[in-house]
Amino acid sequence: MSQNLLEVHNIKKYFPIKKKLFSKKKEFIKAVDGISFTVKKGETLSIVGESGCGKSTTGRVLMKLLEATEGKIVFEGNDITGLSDDEIRPLRKEFQMVFQDPYASLNPRLTVKEIIEEPLIVHNIDKAKRADRVVELLEVVGLNKYHANRYPHEFSGGQRQRIGIARALAVNPKLIIADEPVSALDVSIQSQILNLLKDLQEKYDLTYIFIAHDLSVVEHISDRVAVMYLGRLVELTTRDELFATPLHPYTKALLSAVPVPDPTVKRNRIILKGDIPSPAAPPSGCTFHTRCPFAQDRCREQIPEFREIEKEHFVACHFAEELGS
Amino acid sequence: MDQPVLKVNNLQTYFTSDAGVVKAVDGVSFEVSKGETLGIVGESGSGKSVTSLSIMRLLKDTPGRIADGEILYEGRDLVKISENDMRKIRGNDIAMIFQEPMTSLNPVFKIGRQLEEAIILHLKFSKKEARERSIEMLTSVGISRPEKIVHEFPHQLSGGMRQRVMIAMAMACNPKVLIADEPTTALDVTIQAQILDLMRNLTKTTDTAILLITHDLGVVAEMCDRVVVMYGGRAVEESDVLSIFANPKHPYTQGLLASIPKIGERLDRLQSIPGNVPIPSRMPEGCKFAPRCPHAMDICWEKEPEYKEVITNHSVRCWLHEEVPQDESELVGSTQH
Ligand SMILES: Nc1ncnc2c1ncn2[C@@H]1O[C@H](COP(=O)(O)OP(=O)(O)O)[C@@H](O)[C@H]1O
Ligand SMILES: Nc1ncnc2c1ncn2[C@@H]1O[C@H](COP(=O)(O)OP(=O)(O)O)[C@@H](O)[C@H]1O
Ligand code: SF4
Ligand code: SF4
Ligand SMILES: [Mg+2]
Ligand SMILES: [Mg+2]
């Protein structure tokens, strides 16, 4: 039986919109608007969705880089939602993050050694051990000790992402939140990093939350997949289920929109109309109703519940049963 | 087959700086005919954008210059014509759209004004005709309330809408060639599907030749009739889209096709191309792909292979294919996909 490493209960993150003079109403960007899921120990849970749907905000709330507006986060059975900075510090090393942009996320003025050492210093590892650890980490991610005294700009995008991964691994975390870690990389390099992430997971028994917008990458790396739209989860199930029998109309459209690298395949594509609405003024009811080919009156009025339709298959659509078959 | 509208012969575009000369494009040849979509695919820095900027002669504000080669548009060499003549061709005969629409939209003018000015400049329409043509173009790119959009500024539109406006602007003058440089790379996948669908329909009705630059092999498979693969500033392979995917001959093309994760295909490990994307200032001698190539031989490190048509309509730059007396399938195992 796999146990839950992380439980997320109804997390919300609202950003206040700068108030106009004299306006009475407080307005918010509902970046994350009530999402719940669990992450099992050792698995890769992917969160997929289009830009602005709240994936990064979710990641930052889980990392406690942002305070949740509402909701509860349980890590290894302990509620960590309201912990003070002091209480959270020892837990910080259990969670690490890898970012999309290997160019922006590494301090250009530090050497690779200093970058990887940083979390070790924060967690009071002594100096002699640190040096060995840096070399070990470099080798683990496919670099070597000769890279230690160089600066980020001397590396290619893929190598920089390796440095970011080494830094995340430094303090032996249990959970790594990887926010679009391969989105900025060329295809031939993407696959190197995906393979590396898989190897590391096996070697160190890591749990991943993998944030992405590319479904073909997600299918490759995930055990389970959560699909997000405008701050809410619309579908969550195992990788196999999601790709074989997606139930939510948005998931279906998303899957159908991915260009297939095979010129012999002719697809009957679902093309959604319109744009993604702004999270500052999300549509009423089911927020997907403005683009959903199956929307009905009820969808405009009532928010669909995120419910378990089949075992391990959660969907937020009033008509999931009818539309699924 | 139609006469090609645009033909590029051994294009070489170099950037000069204190650090020396960077050969960003160094041997690119291809042609594109009426109604045809030619894909140019390659990783970042392979010289795709510099190729398109060279064709448009938009390198003026950069340290780049065309060092050699021909760019033949309806028989005229664009490398040699005057800036004045080029200005007439740009926008009129050959139009370009970019990854970032704000490259071609002016932030301080309303959409309508920008469209109308382009139309008046190129088609010599009256103000009223230009307004009508603008609305017509906006409608044709799937904008539902064009009368409203003409009064908006670019920043008031979403990324997808801006891209539509840019396409409308590019297509307004019925160009013979449309160069689209990563037109959907910055867009979300459901919006990308809309834009690709739009481009497909537009070209069906206008017979425009398209040069579609992309790094996405999925987009290539869905949109292109033929494909040029670029690596390190060179064209390394060209063929029709079916052959490129079914029977890639260059080891780089094979590696690229094998590295893409494909929906429905579950591999424990993805294949990848070892090493890094080459840096133009540090190009190896000989074949530029040699440091990453699983088939590299001695000669590959010494001498650059020529770009040769090895079977009809299939060109490759690789020593494995320099002499082709043997059965081609024995040379390189074809990649499954
Ligand atoms: N610090 C912030 N202040 C205000 N709005 C924010 C902030 N961070 C993100 N947002 C908004 O929240 C929404 C979700 O953003 P994000 O989580 O980055 O989405 P994703 O990662 O899925 O692209 C977006 O509309 C974004 O503009
Ligand atoms: N404005 C410029 N100044 C100097 N070098 C440039 C400039 N633009 C491009 N280059 C060089 O040309 C190479 C190819 O660039 P580019 O055509 O933009 O690649 P791609 O579009 O295939 O990603 C770059 O690696 C860079 O070295
Ligand atoms: S609830 Fe209605 S609008 Fe929402 S996805 Fe289901 S059918 Fe579409
Ligand atoms: S020429 Fe040699 S190194 Fe270059 S691609 Fe062909 S076999 Fe590989
Ligand atoms: Mg993000
Ligand atoms: Mg480019």
SS3 per-residue string spanning B164-185:
HHHHHHHHCCCCCEEEEECCCC
Determine, yes or no, domain membership for A190.
yes
Whole-number Å distance between alpha carbons of B145 and B159:
17
pLDDT at A1 over 70: no
Q: How do B20-33 and B4-17 pair as beta strands?
A: antiparallel
Alpha helices in B172-281 (DSSP H): 189-206, 217-223, 241-246, 251-259
Determine, yes or no, domain membership for A166.
no
ipTM summary value: 0.89
> Shortest CB distance from B221 goes to which of A220, A259, A272?
A259
Per-residue pLDDT at B217: 95
Task: Tell me how far the alpha carbon of residue B321 is from its chain's centroid.
Answer: 25
Q: Compute the C-alpha angle B335/B336/B337, nearest 5°.
A: 115
Per-residue pLDDT at A100: 86
In terms of pLDDT, which residue wins out, A121 or A89? A121
Total domains, chain A: 1
Which of B244, B263, B336 has the most A C-beta neighbours within 10 Å, making it the best mutation to test the interface with A?
B263
The DSSP call for residue A308 is E
Quickly list DSSP for A175-223.
EEEEESTTTTS-HHHHHHHHHHHHHHHHHHT-EEEEEES-HHHHHHH-S
**Does ligand 1 have an atom closer than 6 angstroms to the CB of A164?**
no
Per-residue pLDDT at A24: 67
Q: Compute the C-alpha angle A247/A250/A251, nearest 5°.
A: 55
Burial class (CB in 10 A: 0-12, 13-18, 19+), B214: buried
Token output for B74: 């309806």
- Please report which confidence band the pLDDT of residue A325 belongs to, taking 50, 70 and 90 as the band edges: low
Closest to B2 in 3D by CA, of B33, B30, B31, B32 = B33
The DSSP call for residue B331 is H
Determine, yes or no, domain membership for A224.
yes
Per-residue pLDDT at A23: 65
Which chain A residues contact residue B188 at CB under 8 A? 50-51, 213, 276
Q: Which helix (H) or strand (E) holds B299?
A: helix B298-302
Task: Answer yes or no: are the C-beta atoms of A170 and A133 closer than 8 Å.
Answer: yes
- Please report which confidence band the pLDDT of residue B333 belongs to, taking 50, 70 and 90 as the band edges: very low
- Please report which confidence band the pLDDT of residue A160 belongs to, taking 50, 70 and 90 as the band edges: very high
**Strand-pair partners of A177:** A97, A209
**Does ligand 2 have an atom closer than 6 angstroms to the CB of B280?**
yes
- Please report which confidence band the pLDDT of residue B327 belongs to, taking 50, 70 and 90 as the band edges: very low
Report the 10 Å Cβ neighbour count for A100: 20
Q: Interhelix angle for A187-204 vs A157-169, to 10°?
A: 20
Each residue of B48-105: pLDDT tens digit? 999 999 999 999 889 999 999 999 999 899 999 999 999 999 988 999 999 888 888 8
Q: How far apart are the first and last CA of chain B?
A: 30
pLDDT at B153 over 50: yes
Task: Answer yes or no: are the C-beta atoms of A80 and A88 closer than 8 Å.
Answer: yes
Q: Please enumerate in sequence order all residues whose Cβ is within 8 A of that of B229, keeping only pairs 6 or more positions apart, or say none.
A: B41, B42, B235, B236, B237, B238, B244, B250, B252, B253, B256
Dihedral sign for Cα A71, A74, A78, A83, please: negative
Determine, yes or no, domain membership for A118.
no
Q: Which residue matches tokens 């599907």?
A: B193
Determine, yes or no, domain membership for A199.
yes
Dihedral sign for Cα A53, A57, A62, A67, please: negative
pLDDT at A187 over 70: yes
Using the mean position of ligand 3's atoms as its centre, give its distance from the Cα of residue A274 in Å: 15
SS3 A35: strand
Q: CB distance B277–A263 less than 8 Å? A: no
Determine, yes or no, domain membership for A139.
no
Q: Which helix (H) or strand (E) holds B25?
A: strand B20-33
Token output for A33: 């608007």
Per-residue pLDDT at B330: 45
**Strand-pair partners of B20:** B17
Quickly list DSSP for B32-72.
EETT-EEEEE--TTSSHHHHHHHHTT--TTSSEEEEEEEEE
- Please report which confidence band the pLDDT of residue A309 belongs to, taking 50, 70 and 90 as the band edges: very high
Q: Which residue matches tokens 């990783």?
A: B43
- Please report which confidence band the pLDDT of residue A203 belongs to, taking 50, 70 and 90 as the band edges: very high
pLDDT at B1 over 60: no
Q: CB distance A263–B221 less than 8 Å? A: yes
Using the mean position of ligand 6's atoms as its centre, give its distance from the Cα of residue B68 in Å: 21
**Strand-pair partners of B234:** B231
- For the entire predicted model, the pTM comes to 0.91
**Looking at residues A11-25, what average pLDDT do you find?**
80
Q: Find the chain A residues whose C-beta atoms sit closer than 8 A to any C-beta of B.
A: 50-51, 156-159, 186-192, 194-195, 198, 213-217, 219-220, 243, 253-265, 267, 269, 271-273, 275-276
Determine, yes or no, domain membership for A144.
no
Per-residue pLDDT at A245: 94
**Strand-pair partners of B226:** B38, B240
Determine, yes or no, domain membership for A184.
yes
Average per-residue pLDDT for chain B: 90
pLDDT at B335 over 60: no
In percent, the amount of chain B with pLDDT more than 70 equals 95
pLDDT at B331 over 60: no
Whole-number Å distance between alpha carbons of A300 and A290:
9
Q: CB distance B273–A217 less than 8 Å? A: no
Token output for B45: 């820095």
Q: What CATH number did the domain enclosing A42 receive?
A: 3.40.50.300
**Does ligand 3 have an atom closer than 6 angstroms to the CB of A288?**
yes
**Does ligand 3 have an atom closer than 6 angstroms to the CB of A319?**
yes
